[in-house]
Structure 1
Amino acid sequence: MNLRKPLLAVAVAATLPVICPTANAAAELMAAPVNQASPQESASLVAKLTALDSERGLSADNSFRISSQHPGVVGQKITRVQHTYKGLRVFGSESVVVTNTAGDIVSESVSDRRAGLAGNQSVVNGTKGDGVAPALKDLTPSLSSGDAIALVVKQVAPSGVHRWAPQAELLIWPVVKSVRVASALNKSEAALNALDLEDVVDHYELAYYVQTRMADKGKVVYHDTIVNAKTGAIIAQWKSLQTVVGTGNSQYNGSVPINTTLSGSTYKMLDATRGTGGVYGGMAITNANHSSADSPNAGSIYTNSTNTWGDGKQYISGGSTTNANGQTAAVNALWGLMNTYDTLKSVLGWQSLDGNNTATYIAAHVDNNYDNAFFDPSCKCMYIGDGSSFTSLGSIDVIGHEMSHGVTDATSNLTYSGESGGLNESNSDIGGEMVEAYARNGGTGTVIPAGNDWMMGKEISKSGQPLRWMWKPSKDGSSPDAWSSTIKNLDVHYSSGPNNRMFYFLSQGSNSSASSEYYSKYLTKSPAAMTGIGNDKAYRIWFKAATTKFTASTNYADARTKVLAAAQELYGVGSKEAIAVQRAYAAINVGTDIDEAGGTGGVSISTQPANVSVAAGATASFSVGATGGTAPYSYKWYRNGAAISGATSATYSLTAQTADNGATFYAIVSDASSPAKTATSNSATLTVGGGGGTGTERVTNGGFESGTTGWGGTTGVIGNYSGQTAYEGTKFAWLGGNGKAATETLTQSVAIPSAATSASLSFALHIDTAETDNVAYDKLVVTVKNSSGTVLGTLATYTNLNAASGYQVRTFNLLPYKGQTVTLSFAMTEDSALQTSFVVDKVSLITQ
């Protein structure tokens, strides 16, 4: 029984010269929810990427389509960008672009499959584009999208019904083949290492990417299918279903605290403290009440007259789903969901599944005696059955596994076939084990401790045999322990095995005895038993690589490259952590083994740069010191993640201006060895004061404490209203929140002196919404206008898609408007249903 999506491509790495590692790994966290880019910001990023394409020799027929954005590490945003050719997406060809707060590109992780398309005459990531693959010249389909959908339905479920509307996208499908690198031409098949093969595009097909989400004959039938748009032939196909404070009596964890909501005299299994928006406005557990697994209905949120839930026992088949026995499955689910959320946020800074703190839910009691659990990306939710061969499928590692599918869905979206599908499944097993470790040790703190059993789903097994063994995958009789050239042909539930073993070795180490289950014949260097780095470091490295570097087509070889890069950025080139990554992958036949000797980092930072506070016009200096390695050292300073030209000394100084306020600086120190060993300092922050107190506030009553004074427009939005809170003081401006068609505007006229050397506008903004679709229904537009009402510039547009917990401070440079009296405008429009609130406070315009 497979319990993983049911739980039960070539990826060529390319980085920009300005790639900059982040320091202070032990404290590095993922950033807070990010704002989706404005059209202007998106256009700017596409222009920058297009310029890079031009340098690579790609023709003007190539472009980019932004597909998603999510947090990176603090101070960075991740934008996932699809590659297009003549307006059509090239499947599996994409860039993961890391930008800093200034919008500069810090790095670009590329999976590029465009080299053979007509007009791409130069080298793309080391592969010559001209003649690599026959050009695809005819982009006119012979079939309609409806024809393609009908062909797929007839093939996968002719009598089925659609749970979700089918979709068909016309695109370019690169047909990929594996070839040996030059150094491996004479190797036997059995001797091949993952790095001995590379995937290349053999040719291209015009195709439809058809997604069908159906129910048929008592089961859910989810498929992704590639259909030739000329002939109707099915080129490729893969399954896509993603599977395996009150008091609750949990079946697997005893009496546990669970967060519920009191509504009148009734308690609901709704945790409003974790996540926002979504279907229920918080993390929720619903009662599917035996709704059929072929088309499950989530049902209603669990309710109870008291705040004590469940009896801690396996559900009695045929019994009530709402009495104490029926509630136990819901307790299991909520406890697992809470701990998954807390593991990601408290340890990594990642909020909910998508990083943007969107709430999700779990539906318990699906079907009758149902031996499965699955994550459905269409609703971003999870369903769990009561079990037959298994007990209730709500154990902590199973919940963590399924929710980790949600993280993959929101980030790399690893294609669920071949090696990338195996990595998709492995990521969920890793997530399940780390959530288990965190929960078993009290579910608190900022690190992942030891404490998991490294056996997926052991608690739900009636036989005592787990679904998978992380340290020895082959114990299940189907999963391999190491990579081979045929692994891509396996079901993804089994091709995940080697990466599971890699992660176990990375965390716990191996054994040198050939008779041990923890032994690998591929570890040939010293010591024969590699040293692990523990759960916490191993998970930080893996999570950073999986969310900020992996593309949808990442395979085992590419994963090694990107996991190693993450380790080097977190802990340094040559560090024991980076060496452990190389050894752990070598242990599964991905890359060659290396000695552990010398894995101390070589160079270490002895003096960290300190935070600096100065007045505008004064000199600010940052210094770094290093020890170890081979002298002399070289230095490179970075500002907000971007390299500073000419800053190559141990000390960097600048004349501070008001616009520098809040900038961060760090240094990378390299020694004189070959290859050079490096270390990265902590970041230091520059605070710039008013230069003798000459800064002038131009906004009147920006905190709204004097009511409507200074403000025009829809001033009734100003006040102290129940349901929202102020950023500072007691009053604020609440635009929106009506749940019906409405338009509201706040304006204020301000004068910016012609002699101003800086003009910084800032305001605090909180957005919450009841909207659930991924559509921008409601918006707030911030503009600068002249006295006639003509818009001089649009500073930002915010929508219901930008909802996030708490206030976020927004800052804009208004110096281009110096010498003018301009009007600041906050204009809100809300559609006819479901509220979105835009709460504004502490509006300030400081000029120098």
Structure 2
Amino acid sequence: MNPRTPLLAAGLALGLVHAAQPGGAAPQLMSAPVAIATPQDGAGLVARLTALDARAGLTTDYGFRLGSQHPGVVGQKITRAQHTYKNLRVFGSEAVVVTNAAGDIVSVSSADRRPGLAPQASAPGGIVAPAAATPPADLTPALSGDEAIALAVQNVAPGASHRWPASAELLIYPVMQTVRTAAAVNQPAAQLNALDLEEVVQRYELAYLVQLRLARDGKVIYYDVVVDARSGAIIAKWPALQTVIGSGHSQYNGKVPISTSATAGGFQMRDPARGSGGKFGAMAITNANHSSPNNPDPGAVYSHTGNTWGDGQQYNGGSTTDANGQTAAVNALWGLMNTYDAHKNVLGWQALDGNNTATYIAAHVGTAYDNAFYDDSCKCMYIGDGNSFTSLGAIDVIGHEMSHGVTAATADLIYAGESGGLNESHSDIGGEMVEAYARAGGTGAQLPATGNDWMMGKEISRSGQPLRWMHKPSKDGNSPDAWSADLKNLDVHYSSGPNNRMFYFLSQGSKADPASEYHSPYLTRAPLAMTGIGNDKAYRIWFKALTTKFTAATNYADARGKVLQAAQELYGAGAPEAIAVQRAYAAINVGADIDEAGDGGGGGGEAVERVRNGGFEDGVSGWSGSTGVIGAHSGQAPYEGARVAWLGGNGRRGSETLTQQVQIPAGATSAQLSFALHLDTAETSNTVYDTLTVSLRPASGAAATLAIYTNLTPAAGYQLRSFDLLAYRGQSVTLSFAMREDRSKQTSFVLDKVSLLTK
């Protein structure tokens, strides 16, 4: 083994990977707008991803198609790479690729539904190896895209007109099935936790994804429809309209400062300080002037001879340009300004897409129109004057709709099932956080701890009853308070409920009294009343998970793991913030509860170390495989103690593996795997040559890859890596570190302090 001088970078990781930050570290901000990759840069990134696939034995049938690109945390960029099979996109299958300022891959988090790779369904209650479901043998469609569109329109809204041109994308559609994990096969249905179930592929279909943006009878009808490309049958469909359902003088906020632009004839509601480009070259409010909701025309930017706007009263049905008609525009502009400022000043996120692209809101859509909605086709928002409601321009409603724009530009959560509920929940969360920021004056680099009412749409309600209660979603009569296996079958405005409650508990905490609306029966550890971490920390954690970790198909169980990763990256693996995430999700039946105090979050119960000799101080004891890599090596300093496991560093073709079998108790409420890894290399090209694969193999079933580290991005010093293994409770698993090195130029993967703590 050849000692090398460490190079400055971070390790490449595939899967649930992060480097823990010290508990006192300042929260990371999001990066400034990023440059969209040139064709050459994009091709280079695809080549590196393809090289990783090739190292895993995948053929050229598998590929990548680059999607959206947006900022990550400071110094990083996020690229969403869609998985393809024989040049067709696999729906819901993608990789979230994090690169640094030099363009090096830092990490890749995947939702892999590709044929031959995704978990497949077999008999009820079990999962078999990935050969069970195969792609369609014939990838030639029997229908044209236009025929698929016609069938979709006939199914959704016959006779409707196209507000935006329809599209039909030929792709491979995985038909998913929910199955129980091995540990939960015999568990009563009422006792199932979100982590007891898995989404697996039942079969693949060649299909068209038809996106319809229709209008009929004064209503916009947006649907995504999956049409069988061979038979024309409708495989799936879901609504795609992201809606709230149901100095200026603002109707809801009194006299407020608004940012306008001077013109030759006076002023207009156009704010060039917040965003650039877009339809109007800057953030703007327009007058739709009762344009039909069938096909609303945003109209012109609001203008006025003076710079005092509105009368603060509900619109009376008269002129849309006099003082009373201007009030809806004041509501909209103040709301949009605070949405922009809250995200930029607190998080560093600029506009909806993070790249500072300007948006606009069109006021006075329709006549007595009871809706407000975000339209990603124009990346804008439309506001009605209300009938059963008052004007739909309240601050939380605007924050809600604009947050749909953030989701569309980042995770783009599929607007159906559990992912659709998370999509809606992010908008409710965003609306509440914007409200808190605005009520405190709309300035500062932190979200205030108070100021929002935790009720979505209360101000626009003529009855005083909000649309949704964040702390107790079931108060609306439709939304559940906790996860259940039926959650995916609900309308997304109701399946958002449990995650809304999770966020409330994460921020504000819960109550121990079972009679309280703020109590969760799923919190059974000490203390029964969990402690919240406040709006600011809660939203930083949530926002980072959404924008840099979630994939389009993320469900509640996946969200828990990724929100926990974000908390651990920001505040540390054993930090109170990370503990609060676990408790907040446990409060809605997603994961098990843990105690708040002591031993990194275990509290009343002692943490038990499941890895034997994880620091290698007892030589090879506990380890199997290439145990000759363990020792005190002069060329590599340990993370702690005197010994390490130095895999690689040989500069010649070879492989080395260390394994250890560990048991995760069935009653575990926490299972955290962690290790310290140092990586240095003599390789200089952008090609993957040397890899370290970290995996788990259960006693039965296929191995699961936790992470792959490569020569592409070495690191100065040790990086702490951490994984949540609670999903493996009740199982004996083999932990494996497997190194492969090519024929020349060494790469060293140096391990220390391997630990699996369970509670």
Residue 284 (structure 2) aligns with: 284
Q: Which residue pairs with 1:434 in the alignment?
A: 433
Counterpart amino acid of 2:471?
W
Is the 8 Å Cα contact of residues 117 and 133 (structure 1) preserved in structure 2? no
After superposition, the Cα gap between the structure-2 partners of 1:412 and 1:396, relative to the gap in structure 1 and judged at 3 Å, is: same
Which is bigger in relative contact order (C-alpha 8 A, separation at least 6)?
2
Contact 2:20–2:571 (8 Å) recurs in 1: no
Give structure 1 stretches of 5+ with no counterpart: 1-13, 121-125, 603-623, 626-632, 651-667, 678-848
Larger-Rg structure: 1
| Equivalent residue letter for 1:382 | M
Task: Provide the residue aligned with 2:690 in structure 1.
Answer: none
Q: Give the letter for the 1:389 counterpart.
A: S
Q: Secondary structure of the residue that 1:308 maps to in structure 2?
A: coil
In 2, the alpha carbon distance for the partners of 1:51 and 1:452 equals: 49
1:145-191 alpha-carbon deviations (Å, 9 max, x no partner)? 11101111122222111111110000000010000001101111111
Q: How big is each residue's C-alpha offset from its partner over 1:312-332, in whole Å with a ceiling of 9 and x where there is no partner?
A: 010102x11100000000000
Give the CA deviation at 1:22: 5.6
Q: CA deviation at 1:576?
A: 0.6
Q: Which letter does structure 2 place at the counterpart of 1:532?
A: G
Cα 1:184/1:27, change in 2 over 3 Å: closer
1:471–1:71 CA distance, 2 compared to 1 (3 A): same
Maintained 8 Å contact 2:18/2:565: no
Which residue identity does 1:303 align to in structure 2? S
Q: Which position in structure 2 is the counterpart of 1:348?
A: 347
Name the amino acid aligned to 1:234.
I
- CA separation of 1:22 and 1:282: change in aligned 2, threshold 3 A: farther
Residues 320 and 364 of structure 2 are in contact (CA less than 8 Å); yes or no, is this contact kept in structure 1?
A: yes
> Cα deviations across residues 728-770 of structure 1 (Å, max 9, x unaligned)?
xxxxxxxxxxxxxxxxxxxxxxxxxxxxxxxxxxxxxxxxxxx
Contact kept, 8 Å, 1:575 with 1:599, in 2: the verdict is: no
More displaced, 336-345 or 449-458? 449-458
Answer whether contact 1:67 1:81 (CA < 8 A) is retained. Answer: yes
What does the per-residue CA deviation read over 1:546-568, in whole Å, with 9 as the maximum and x for residues that have no partner? 00000110000000010000001
Aligned partners of 1:637, 1:255: CA distance in 2, in Å? 58
Structure 2: segments with no counterpart, 5+ residues: 1-12, 121-125, 603-638, 641-674, 682-708, 721-749
Residue 634 of structure 1 and its aligned partner are, at CA, apart by 6.5
Q: Secondary structure at the match of 2:257?
A: strand
Q: CA deviation at 1:49?
A: 1.0
Q: Which residue of 2 aligns with 1:647?
A: 717
Number of the residue aligned with 1:333: 332
Name 2:571's counterpart in structure 1.
571
What's the secondary structure of 2:26's corresponding residue? helix
- Report the CA distance between 1:109 and its aligned residue: 1.1
TM-score by length of 2: 0.77
Instruction: Please name the residue that 2:493 is paired with.
Output: 493
Q: 1:643 Cα shift?
A: 6.2
- Residue correspondence of structure 1 range 71-470 to structure 2 within 5 A: 71-116=71-116, 130-244=130-244, 247-317=247-317, 319-449=318-448, 450-470=450-470
Deviation at 1:43, TM superposition (A): 1.3
How far has the Cα of 1:597 moved from its partner?
1.1
AA partner of residue 79 (structure 1): T
- C-alpha deviations, 1:271-310, integer Å up to 9, x for none? 1110000011111000011111111110111111100000
Kept in 1, the 8 Å contact 2:19–2:719? The answer is no
Native 8 Å contact 1:635 1:670 kept in 2: yes
Gap change, CA 1:446 and 1:555, over 3 Å in 2: same
The amino acid that maps onto 1:429 is D
Using a 3 Å threshold, how does the CA distance of structure 1 residues 676 and 473 change in structure 2: closer, same or farther? closer
| SS of residue in 1 equivalent to 2:349 | coil
Separation (CA, whole Å) in 1 of partners of 2:322 and 2:228: 53
- 1:659 counterpart residue number: none
Give 1:637 deviation, angstroms.
8.6
Contact 2:27 2:570 in 1 (8 A): no
Give the Å deviation of 1:465: 0.6
Alpha-carbon contact 2:18-2:569 (below 8 Å) kept: no
Provide the rounded CA distance (Å) in 1 between the counterparts of 2:28 and 2:282.
27
**Residue aligned with 1:301, SS:** coil
> CA separation in 2, counterparts of 1:204 and 1:136?
6
Q: What whole-Å deviation, never above 9, does each CA across 1:546-596 have from its counterpart, x for those lacking one?
A: 000001100000000100000010001011100100000000000010111
CA distance in 2, matches of 1:16, 1:486: 28
Is the 1:193–1:589 Cα contact (8 Å) retained in structure 2?
yes
For 1:599 and 1:535, how far apart are their aligned partners in 2?
26
Task: Report deviation, 1:451.
Answer: 1.4
Q: How does 1:510-589 map to 2 (within 5 A)?
A: 510-589=510-589
Name 2:594's counterpart in structure 1.
Answer: 594
**What is the Cα deviation at residue 672 of structure 1?**
8.1
Question: Which amino acid is the alignment partner of residue 204 of structure 2?
Answer: Y
Distance 1:270 1:541 in 2: 32
Q: Residues 560 and 590 of structure 2 are in contact (CA less than 8 Å); yes or no, is this contact kept in structure 1?
A: yes
Task: Confirm or deny: 8 A CA contact 1:194 1:590 kept in the other structure.
Answer: yes
**Which segments of structure 1 move beyond 6 Å, counting only runs of 4 or more?**
599-602, 668-673
Range that drifts further, 251-260 or 54-63: 54-63
2:743: which partner in 1? none
CA contact (8 A) 2:21 2:568 kept: no
Return the alpha-carbon distance in structure 1 between the equivalents of residues 680 and 371 of structure 2: 50
Cα 1:576–1:312 shift into 2, 3 Å: same
Secondary structure of the corresponding residue to residue 445 of structure 1: coil
Q: What is the Cα deviation at residue 360 of structure 1?
A: 0.3
Cα offset for 1:19? 4.4
For 1:228, give the aligned amino acid.
Answer: D
**Matched positions, count:** 612
1:143 to partner: Cα distance: 0.5
Q: What's the CA shift for 1:60?
A: 1.6
Compared with structure 1, are the counterparts of its residues 248 and 185 closer, same or farther at alpha carbon in structure 2 (3 Å cutoff)? same
Contact 1:175–1:201 (CA<8 Å) still a contact in 2?
yes
Q: Deviations over 1:182-239 (max 9, x none)?
A: 1101111111100000011011000000011111111101110000000000000011
What TM-score, normalized by structure 1, do the two folds share? Answer: 0.69
After TM superposition, give the deviation of residue 135 of structure 1 in Å. 3.5
Question: Helix, strand or coil: the match of 2:152?
Answer: helix
| CA gap 1:424/1:649 in 2 versus in 1, 3 angstroms | closer
Query: For the Cα contact (< 8 Å) 1:117–1:136, is it kept in 2?
Result: no
Residue 210 of structure 1 aligns to a residue in which SS? strand
1:298–1:638 Cα change, 3 Å? farther
Displacement of 1:263 in angstroms is 0.6
Distance 2:136 2:104 in 1: 34
Superposed displacement of residue 485, structure 1: 0.3
Q: 1:568 to 1:676 in 2, by over 3 A?
A: farther
| Structure 2 residue 578 is matched with structure 1 residue 508 | no
Structure 1 contact 573–601 (Cα < 8 Å) conserved: no
Which residue number corresponds to residue 53 of structure 2?
A: 53
Q: Supply the distance in 2 between the matched residues of 1:644 and 1:166 (Cα, whole angstroms).
A: 46
Percent identical residues: 67
Distance 1:40 1:407 in 2: 27
Note the alpha carbon deviations across 1:412-457, whole angstroms, 9 max, x for none: 1100000000000000000000000000001000001121110001
Deviation at 1:107, TM superposition (A): 1.1
Shift of 1:132: 2.7
Report the residue type matching 1:589 in the other structure.
Answer: N
